[in-house]
Chains A and B, each alone.
Chain A
C-alpha cells in the first residue's frame, strides 16, 4: 500500500469546475449586456418593455459583480483547493468518508445559495452594500457554505502525510480566515421583523428585510474595509495560491525563492487590510484613516510585486516555454497583469490622483484589468492544467487555446485602455472651469463624450466572452472526446493539435 502512488479523488473538483465555467459564462454575459446598455441605452429593453424591470442596468449590475466574484472566482477557488489540497498534503479525499461527504455537501449548498442569490437580486432584494448585497437569510447560508469550506481545508490538513504546509496552503488558509472575518463584520444587520408596533399590533412587511447595524460614515468605513479586502482575499490571495502551485507544476521549474514567498505572504497579510481607506478619500471618514489608506496602498506594491517577480523568475532560463505552451502564456500574462494592476491601484490611491479618478470609469478599468487579466487568466489556466489529470485525457486543442489567448488579451487591452481614457476625460471635465470660474461643462456633456469609449469597452468585453466560450468548449471536448491518459502526468500538460 505505502509503495503505490496515491489515487487522488477529484469528484468535488469536477463539480466546482462545472460551476466555474457555468457562472463564468453567466457573469461575463451579463457584463457584456451592461457594457452595451451604457453605450446604447435601448439595450435596457432587450427583452421588451414588459420585462424592463428585470433587464435594466441597475438590476443587472449587482448580478454581474456577484456572479463573477461569488460564482466564477469562488468556484475556481474551491475547484483548485479540492485538487491542490490533496496533492500538496499527500492525502486523498477518498481516504476519509467524512471529508468526501462534507465536500459534496459544500458543493450542493453552494449551488442552492447561488440560486437563491440570483432570484433575490433579480427581484431587487438587496442591502445595497457592494459585494454584500444579500439579505440575512442568504448571509446565513453563505456562512454555512464557508464553514464547510473551512472544514474541508482543516480536515484535509488534519490527516495529511506531508507535515510541512506548502505555500499555496498558506494562501488558502488566509483566504478562509480573511473572508470569514470580513464577511461577518460587514453583514451585521438587524432583521426589521424583530421590531414591534407601539400598540402591539401586527406590522407585517417582508420577513427577509434588514438594516445595517452601522450608520452613515461608520457603515461606509466597515463596507470599504470589507469591499477592498474582499478583493484581497477573493481576487488576490487565493489566486496567488493557484499560481504558486500551477506554474511550477506546469513548467517543471522550482519556485525561484522561498524567502521572497515568505516576505510576500506575511507582508501582504499585514499591509492589505490597512488600505481600504483609499475608497473613501475626501469623504467624511477621519482624515488619518484616509491618509493611512493612501500610504499603505503604495507600500502594498512591495509584497504584490514580490509574488509576481517570484513567479516570473521561476521561469528563469525556461522562457522558451512561454512561446511553446499556451498554458504557460496564460499564467505569465496573469502574473504580468497582477503586477500591472497592483501598480495602477496604488497610483489611484494617491490623494491627488484619486481626486480625478474616483467615481469615474478609470476605477472600473482598474478592476477589470485585475479580474480579466489576472484572476480570469489564472483560473482558466488552472482548469486547463487540471483537466488532463482530472479527466485522464489530453486537452482537446492547443490551437484553440492559443487563439483564445490572443482574442482575450486583445479584449482586456481594449477594455482597460478605453476605460482609462473615459475615466480621465470625465474626471478632468467634471473639474474644468471657464475663465470666469464657472463650471465649463454640464454633467450630461461628460456623459455623451464617453460614448465611443463605452462602445470600445463593450467590444473588448465581448471578445473576452467569446474567448471564454472557446475555453468552455475546449474543456467540454476534453471531457468527452479524447482517448484516456493512463500514466500519472508530470509537468507539461498534454495538448491535442
Chain B
C-alpha cells in the first residue's frame, strides 16, 4: 500500500491530511459543542476596559504575565481562587500566556490599586526592587484609541451575542448592566466618565490635565482593565 501511495501523490496527500486532521476533530470539536458559558458574576468589558485590554495586547503583556491560576495550594495562596472556564467567556482572544517572567494577573484587581499601578508602570524597579520589568512611560502621553475599542465591543455584541445593555446576574443575587454606547461619540463620553474616576486616584499632573481636556492617556485605560481583573 505504501509503495503505491508513494507513486500517487494525490492519494498520498489525501492520506496524510486525513491522518493529521483526525486528532483535531476528536479533541477540539466536542469542546466547541459546549461553548463557554459565563459563570455567575462574569461581566463583559466596559468601553475603557476594552481599550485597556487592547493596550495590554499591543504591548504583549501576555509575553511575561499569565492569566491562568492553576489549582495548586501555592497558586491559590499567591493569586486567589483557581481559574474557571466560564470566567473567560468574554475573552477574545484568550490571554493565558505561556510564561511567568512576572506574576499572574488573573485577579490582580483584588490586591493592587490605581495608585500602585501608576507608580509601578512608570518605574517598576522603584516599586519592586530587583524587578526586571521595563518601564512603560510612553503610556502616560500616548492617547488611547477609543473608536477601535468601541468597534470591538460592537463586534462582540453583534457577532457573538455578548450581553451589553442587558441585566447580568451577580453572585449576591442582584443584577448589573454593562452599558454600550449607541455611537462612537457616546462611547467616548462613557470612556471619559470611567477615565475621570481612575484619574482622580492618580498623581501625574499631565494625565489629570489630559483627562480634564477630554483625552484619555493609554495608562488610564490600562489601569481600568487591570482593576477589572478579579
* Chain A residues, Cβ within 8 Å of B71: 282
* Chain A residues, Cβ within 8 Å of B54: 209
* Chain B residues, Cβ within 8 Å of A41: 125, 131-134
Most buried by A among B24, B57, B68, B131: B24
* Chain A residues, Cβ within 8 Å of B87: 216
* Chain A residues, Cβ within 8 Å of B59: 58-59, 124
Number of residues in B with C-beta < 8 Å to the partner?
Answer: 93
Q: A212's contact among B24, B28, B92, B103, by CB below 8 Å, is which?
A: B92
Nearest residue in B to A50 (C-beta to C-beta)?
A: B138
Q: A273's contact among B20, B90, B92, B157, by CB below 8 Å, is which?
A: B20
**Residue pair B155, A195 in contact (C-beta under 8 Å):** yes
**Residue pair A283, B96 in contact (C-beta under 8 Å):** yes
**Residue pair B88, A216 in contact (C-beta under 8 Å):** yes
Q: B74's contact among A225, A284, A289, A433, by CB below 8 Å, is which?
A: A433
* Chain A residues, Cβ within 8 Å of B16: 170, 173-174, 177, 269
**Residue pair B99, A439 in contact (C-beta under 8 Å):** no
Interface of B is mostly: helix
Most buried by B among A39, A124, A203, A284: A284
Most buried by A among B6, B32, B134: B134
Q: Is A490 an interface residue (CB 8 A)?
A: no
Distance, CA A209 to CA B57, complexed state (A): 12
Q: Is B205 an interface residue (CB 8 A)?
A: no
**Residue pair A178, B20 in contact (C-beta under 8 Å):** yes
**Residue pair A289, B31 in contact (C-beta under 8 Å):** yes
Q: A355's contact among B70, B131, B152, B158, by CB below 8 Å, is which?
A: B70
**Residue pair B134, A37 in contact (C-beta under 8 Å):** yes
Q: A218's contact among B21, B24, B31, B136, by CB below 8 Å, is which?
A: B31
**Residue pair A212, B9 in contact (C-beta under 8 Å):** no
Q: Is A257 an interface residue (CB 8 A)?
A: no
Q: A58-B134, A62-B60 are in contact. Are A205 and B159 (CB under 8 A)?
A: no
Nearest residue in B to A177 (C-beta to C-beta)?
A: B17
What string of 1s and 0s marks CB contacts (under 8 Å) between B126-163 and chain A?
Answer: 00111111111110001001011111101111111000
Q: B130's contact among A222, A296, A447, by CB below 8 Å, is which?
A: A447
Nearest residue in B to A55 (C-beta to C-beta)?
A: B134
* Chain A residues, Cβ within 8 Å of B78: 430, 439, 443
Nearest residue in B to A185 (C-beta to C-beta)?
A: B24
**Residue pair A197, B183 in contact (C-beta under 8 Å):** yes
Distance, CA A5 to CA B230, complexed state (A): 70
Distance, CA A428 to CA B184, complexed state (A): 49
Distance, CA A286 to CA B155, complexed state (A): 28
Interface size class of A (residues with CB under 8 A): 35 or more
* Chain A residues, Cβ within 8 Å of B147: 203-205
What string of 1s and 0s marks CB contacts (under 8 Å) between B154-190 and chain A?
Answer: 1111111000000000000000000001111100000
Q: Is A130 an interface residue (CB 8 A)?
A: yes
Distance, CA A354 to CA B2, complexed state (A): 38
What string of 1s and 0s marks CB contacts (under 8 Å) between A349-362 and chain B?
Answer: 00000010011110
**Residue pair A128, B12 in contact (C-beta under 8 Å):** no
- B43: shortest Cβ distance to chain A, in Å? 14
**Residue pair B93, A129 in contact (C-beta under 8 Å):** yes
Q: A262-B2, A283-B83 are in contact. Are A215 and B151 (CB under 8 A)?
A: no
Q: Is B101 an interface residue (CB 8 A)?
A: yes
* Chain A residues, Cβ within 8 Å of B138: 52-53
**Residue pair B84, A284 in contact (C-beta under 8 Å):** yes
Segment of A157-165, A316-324, A338-346, A399-407 in the binding face: A157-165
- A318: shortest Cβ distance to chain B, in Å? 27
* Chain B residues, Cβ within 8 Å of A203: 147, 150-151, 154, 183-184
**Residue pair B154, A195 in contact (C-beta under 8 Å):** yes
Q: Is B98 an interface residue (CB 8 A)?
A: yes
Q: Is B210 an interface residue (CB 8 A)?
A: no
Distance, CA A438 to CA B76, complexed state (A): 11
Distance, CA A305 to CA B100, complexed state (A): 31
* Chain B residues, Cβ within 8 Å of A214: 32, 92-93
Distance, CA A44 to CA B150, complexed state (A): 32
Distance, CA A439 to CA B125, complexed state (A): 22
Q: Is A127 an interface residue (CB 8 A)?
A: yes
* Chain B residues, Cβ within 8 Å of A438: 77
Q: Which residues from 34 to 50 on chain B have a C-beta closer than 8 Å to any C-beta of chain A?
A: 35-36
Q: A216-B94, A222-B28 are in contact. Are A284 and B131 (CB under 8 A)?
A: no
- B3: shortest Cβ distance to chain A, in Å? 8
Q: Which residues of A approach B to under 8 Å, CB–CB?
A: 37-39, 41, 44-45, 49, 52-53, 56-59, 61-62, 124-130, 154, 157, 163-165, 170, 173-174, 177-178, 181, 185, 190, 192-199, 201-206, 209, 211-223, 225, 262, 266, 269-270, 272-274, 276-277, 279, 282-286, 289, 292, 296, 355, 358-361, 363-364, 430-433, 438-439, 443-444, 447-448, 454
Q: Which residues of B approach A to under 8 Å, CB–CB?
A: 2-3, 6-7, 9, 12-13, 16-17, 19-24, 27-28, 30-32, 35-36, 54, 57-64, 66, 68, 70-75, 77-78, 83-85, 87-103, 125, 128-138, 142, 145, 147-152, 154-160, 181-185
Extra contacts besides A209-B54, A216-B88 (6): CB < 8 Å: A38-B132, A52-B134, A52-B135, A165-B9, A201-B183, A215-B35
